[in-house]
Structure 1
């Protein structure tokens, strides 16, 4: 485990630095959007550059920013964890397809607790983000963690300050499991956070930094950021009543039953998926491209990049605890989605 964590940290650090600079290599392909998949896109880009000589400049600016950029036609592809509706895709002349699967994870800054030591249910987690459970030694948390000495310490909520697919995924889950959350807040890429004590952060990076900085805080980030920043996560009760920890196996279990072609644009929600081993806040991250691109050569190169990643990038995804798409799904994407992009 330590060897794997050291490897992940070194890969992520090198890849993050490479992609963040952008100008470090030729920007043959441009993309922008979700911070959720940034670690794996960075690693794929680094390896694709080495294999082909062609580069990718990806701006990790959040899902809402990615949708804005692709609509403005300033990038070859947009990336979002909050899938666009079939109606909006048709209106804009876009195709959408999943590229990677991962999980959103509740993280805490609580002295004396190891990763995965604390357990939480979806209902109590929603109450914490609602501000109804505002202290760490609240009886609702204590009841789920018998024998644990919880501090008499206020909970500070850390949330995304920007429009975010991670927020969409997280609030989609809270909406599914909590009637109170559903009726008062709901789901969206940006919501009005009700807890009295809260602070915003830009990107998964900003939320991770704030959770690590603020004592007694509770936030949510994509799992690669948990590992990169050595964060303390909570086990979460899933739809089968089992407490599970986040990793590639529990993300894969949640994705196993997804019917991708049942929704226009393949925008399937995997939150609160059935299955004893399913992580309940699993999600796909999606790519948006024009059916009739302005720069056909750049669009063709972007398709080549994702084709290469689907074929050669599975081990890289596993090393960062993402879940690569199954071959049966990538075959469908090649046949039913990419064929709509004009060459």
Structure 2
């Protein structure tokens, strides 16, 4: 999907289904999935390319939020799901057929904003959490002005755009804010659907594409979105101060530096158990690391129909090899080789 086509699609259709592959009449294997909008730009390309190369395969994926995807998986109404919030032990315990969590890609969460004439903006790590607690309310607040010498910041109210749905992107973003700011952690905390301040300056929109569209249509707005949406729609994003004290823009190198901080649990599980591939990077170390990055997971039943299990395993192999070549172009972080090998091993448990 070209970037121009995606721009129109992402802004005009919130939560629309992506249907790809061969025609209905010839579809031998149909996979239905739902969940995270965070990986939707790259998933859309992957599903299309994989289906075109796989005779008789059709994939239908609805990007409606991580929470909804997890619930669909628990309810057994899909063949797979996707989530940026992974799954917790309680959620996994509700899946009778077992579940395999596979980090197929990774991305950065950026702060997109709409300020006329302000093309570059630095936000310190003690400032942007306070925007999302409602403690900093004006664009010309002295703390923002101090970090942006020579930039003409307007005497204008900040409109904060947050997610209206149960969101893995929100889970990642609030996890980072809770890690670096005790005030945010106490007032709001981490969650897929946190209780944001109930003021007129906070507005809600569904999914990454909904927030992107709302920011673009609202002067003075700021909100959190996956970097791929910002890259493909031309949204202006802030440089964020990282743990090393440097202001960093999102991008392939800064994202890779963030992933370098990821640690998976040691391989101490019995060979009969699915490897644990959940790792969080709430405040990555590194001079050039972008401060908000995360894996996003494909969620597959451990017990599948043979035909569907084979297709899902084939898709996973495509995604961690050929599919990774599209990462940088679409605003995602290619998986490190050690993660690729762990995913390949875990995919064998889909039977």
TM-score (norm: length of structure 1): 0.90
Paired with 1:236 and 1:262, the residues of 2 have a C-alpha distance of 32
Q: Secondary structure at the match of 2:118?
A: coil
Q: Secondary structure at the match of 2:82?
A: strand
Q: What residue is the counterpart of 1:168 in the other structure?
A: 171
Paired with 2:215 and 2:126, the residues of 1 have a C-alpha distance of 21
Q: What residue is the counterpart of 2:43 in the other structure?
A: 41
C-alpha RMSD over aligned residues = 2.2
Query: For 1:152, which of 152, 155, 163 is the aligned residue?
Result: 155
Q: What residue is the counterpart of 1:280 in the other structure?
A: 291
Q: What residue is the counterpart of 2:128 in the other structure?
A: 125
Q: What residue is the counterpart of 2:19 in the other structure?
A: 22
Distance 1:183 1:262, change over 3 A: farther
Q: What residue is the counterpart of 2:66 in the other structure?
A: 63
The alignment status of 1:269 with 2:286, answered yes or no, reads no
Does structure 2 retain, via aligned residues, the 8 Å contact 1:63–1:164? yes
Does structure 2 retain, via aligned residues, the 8 Å contact 1:131–1:195? no
Q: Secondary structure at the match of 1:135?
A: coil
Paired with 2:350 and 2:18, the residues of 1 have a C-alpha distance of 29
Q: What residue is the counterpart of 1:31 in the other structure?
A: 33
Q: What residue is the counterpart of 1:222 in the other structure?
A: 226
Q: What residue is the counterpart of 1:3 in the other structure?
A: none
Q: Secondary structure at the match of 1:309?
A: helix
Q: What residue is the counterpart of 1:202 in the other structure?
A: 206
Q: Tell me the CA shift for residue 52 of structure 1.
A: 1.7
Deviates more, 1:259-268 or 1:216-225: 259-268
Distance 1:123 1:195, change over 3 A: farther
TM-score (norm: length of structure 2): 0.88
**Is there any run of 5+ residues in structure 2 with no aligned partner, and where?**
268-274
Tell me the alpha carbon deviations over residues 131-172 of structure 1, each in whole angstroms, 9 at most, x when there is no partner. Answer: 111010011111111121110000111000000000001100
Q: Secondary structure at the match of 1:101?
A: strand
Does structure 1 retain, via aligned residues, the 8 Å contact 2:107–2:333? yes
Q: Tell me the CA shift for residue 334 of structure 1.
A: 2.1
Q: What residue is the counterpart of 2:272 in the other structure?
A: none
Paired with 1:111 and 1:237, the residues of 2 have a C-alpha distance of 22
Paired with 1:289 and 1:279, the residues of 2 have a C-alpha distance of 30
Does structure 1 retain, via aligned residues, the 8 Å contact 2:31–2:58? yes
Paired with 1:323 and 1:231, the residues of 2 have a C-alpha distance of 19
Deviates more, 1:249-258 or 1:317-326: 317-326
The alignment status of 1:72 with 2:75, answered yes or no, reads yes
Matched positions, count? 331
Q: Secondary structure at the match of 1:55?
A: strand
Q: What residue is the counterpart of 1:258 in the other structure?
A: 262
**Is there any run of 5+ residues in structure 1 with no aligned partner, and where?**
1-6
